[in-house]
Amino acid sequence: MKNDFPPLVAALCLVAGAPLVSPAPVIDFTGARGDFTLFYDPAGDEWDVVFRERAVTHATGLTSQADQDRPHAAPEDYNFSRLNVLVQTPAELERGGVRYYSTASEDAEVPWSETIPDFGMRPRLRDANDEPLVDSFTMTLDGFSGPGDFALFQPDPIFGDTVFAYNTAEGRLEHEWEPWGHTHWHWGFTEPGEYELNFGLQGQFPDGSETGTGTGTVHFEVIPEPSAVALLLGLTAAGCLFARRNRRRQ
């Protein structure tokens, strides 16, 4: 495990599992606050994920408004084919002896700042009468790839302990969510590099039956800042030079 992490830039791509309104744009989210919001249509047994623009959001590509006829829709909901998120000032957090590159959250120990994108989980699974469409829904991390581990976590609002929704290092790959809520989390990664997170969505009805499944693919690219890259290249070059001198002496 590495103890010293360079700063990073992270790009996130989330593709909704349900069909999107065509043409769905690419949204570039470069700062402030935003949410991705989940909807479920019982008539079509379909899931949809949209981007919720919030106050002081810095985003481009907000040109394809999501379905405004669905219950609890808002003008700030936008369809997308790709959501790119630039994290310019990441948090470096330690949880359970593990250090993470992480997006920051106003609910966490690191104060929120307009220069740090804040990502919310925002399920809106209620009908027009404000009755739950499902008792709960499960997001399962069905597939994961990357050079390190991934965790989604936040501090417990009452006891202050860290709550992990997902943690690949511990095999925590499934989390049950309430059908209505708005919570903010740290998306944390232990190493720089490219990650792909493939989620499955499924709701549970009161009688024990289940909805159809939706899918969502999230891609993060964790990149050290140029100064850190230069330092890494310098250390690599120094190591090669040292090895070459050693060979000459032998």
In this predicted structure, the answer to whether residue 42 has a pLDDT above a threshold of 70 is yes
Taking alpha carbons only, the member of 74, 71, 89, 81 closest to residue 17 is 81
- Which residue has better confidence, 31 or 52? 52
- Each residue of 131-143: pLDDT tens digit? 999 999 999 999 9
- Each residue of 198-232: pLDDT tens digit? 899 999 999 999 999 998 777 777 765 654 444 44
> In the chain, what percentage of residues exceed pLDDT 70?
72
Q: How far apart are CA 38 and CA 180, in angstroms?
A: 9
What are the CA-CA distances from residue 34 to residues 37, 89, 178 (Å)? 10, 16, 20
The pLDDT value recorded for residue 87 is 64
